[in-house]
Amino acid sequence: MYVNIDVLTLFPEQFSGVFEHSIIKRARDKFLAEIKIHNLRDWAADKYKSVDDRPYGGGAGMILRG
């Protein structure tokens, strides 16, 4: 069984160590799994590469832009 894993994150460097020192590394070495780490900022629309915004209608917290 082959597994594709796509990770969407703001901090891709945090995942490289996790996937290099775990059971997932053994699966990758045996070509049973493929892991792709995507930085959400690569798809940001503005020049500051921001991916969050204030909630519509006010209130506390932040939202991710789509």
Return the CATH number at 20: 3.40.1280.10
Report how far residue 31's alpha carbon sits from residue 61's, in angstroms, rounded to the nearest whole number.
41
What residue numbers bound the domain in which 27 lies?
Answer: 3-64
Query: Residue 44 and residue 34: Cα distance in Å, rounded?
Result: 25
Which residue, chain included where needed, has tokens 């780490």? 37
Tell me: the pLDDT tens digits for 27-64? 999 999 999 999 999 999 999 999 998 888 888 988 98
Contact 27, 3 (CB under 8 A): yes
Task: Indicate the pLDDT class of residue 65, thresholds 50, 70 and 90.
Answer: confident
| Phi, psi torsion values for 49, nearest 5 degrees | 60, 35
> Which pLDDT score, from 0 to 100, does residue 9 have?
93
- Going by pLDDT thresholds of 50, 70 and 90, the confidence category of residue 11 is very high
Question: Number of folded domains in the chain?
Answer: 1
**Cα–Cα distance between 52 and 63 in angstroms, integer?**
5
